Amino acid sequence: MSSGPAVPGAPAEEPTPVPVAPPPAAETPADDDAGTEVLGPAEVQRSLTRIAHEILERTKGAENLLLLGIPTRGLPLARRLAQRIADVEPGVDPEQLAGSLDVTMYRDDLHRHPTRTIGRTELPAGRSVDGQVVVLVDDVLFSGRTIRAALDALNDLGRPRAVQLAVLVDRGHRELPIRADYVGKNLPTSLVETVRVRLAETDGVDSVVIAGGTR
């Protein structure tokens, strides 16, 4: 997916959504204080459905496939992808497809922040990562440091045959040579902006909001 021309500093006409994907009918800008909503519930659902199909296409079926969500919001995303894959692929149990991978203890910035709560690492019952195609799932891809930590965490769990990465939003500004295999939406951002992903499971509603910059 090619990212459109992001012009963060351009003279504002209207707070235009980034002109990438086929223009969805109404991307409603939320009220100014809360920032600009770039993905609503319907777009989030569509992105996930597309990613689920892309994963299936690329891995040629769900055999030996394992989706590992990175807490907090990667985990519900992994579960939703597993459900969608199970919907189209016969004989797949979504419970056996999705797990969680906590990366807290592998982060390189632990001493720069107040102590973080450790999340749960849980593979589906009876499954290991050895020889599997593992798709890491997270909400936002930014510096790439979380994914680096995830690769280390995964390495301690076993030896997957391949590791891929699915994210709902890629906001750029990579600090490490890491890229996503499946992207819900490329969101060119400036460093002063924040991207906030909300999901029904954790926040009551699906949305992606950009705030903080002048768009």
Partner 1 sequence: MTGLRHLLSAADLDRPTAVTVLDTAAQMAATQSREIKKLPTLRGRTVVNLFFEDSTRTRISFEAAAKRLSADVINFSAKGSSVSKGESLKDTALTLQAMGADAVVIRHHASGAPHRLAHAGWVDAAVVNAGDGTHQHPTQALLDAFTLRRHLAGDADNADGVGRDLTGRHVAIVGDVLHSRVARSNVQLLTTLGARVTLVAPPTLVPVGVEAWPCAVSYDLDGVIADQQPDAVMMLRVQRERMGGADGGGSRTTSFFPSPLEYTRTFGLDARRLRMLPDHAIVMHPGPMNRGLEISADAADSERAVIVEQVANGVAVRMAVLYLLLAGEREAWS
Q: Which residues bind partner 1 (CB under 8 A)?
A: 102, 105-106, 110-121, 152, 156-158
Helix boundaries (H) for 60-191: 74-88, 145-157
Distance in Å, CB of 67 to partner 1, minimum? 19
Helix residue spans in 30-139 (DSSP H):
41-59, 74-88
Residue 113 Cβ, how far from partner 1 at the closest point, in Å? 6
Measured from the CB of residue 99, what is the shortest distance to partner 1 in angstroms? 12
Give dist(CA 88, CA 1) in Å, integer. Answer: 24
CA-closest candidate to residue 99, choices 171, 159, 157, 185: 157
Q: Which is nearer to partner 1, 35 or 99 (CB)?
A: 99
Q: How far is the CB of 149 from partner 1 (least distance, A)?
A: 9
State how far the Cα of 166 lies from the Cα of 15, in Å rounded to an integer. 28
Of the pair 153, 199, the CB lying nearest partner 1 is at 153
Nearer to partner 1, 91 or 114 (CB): 114
C-beta closer to partner 1: residue 57 or 112: 112
What lies within 8 Å, CB to CB, of 189 at 6+ separation is 6, 8, 171, 172, 173, 195, 210, 213
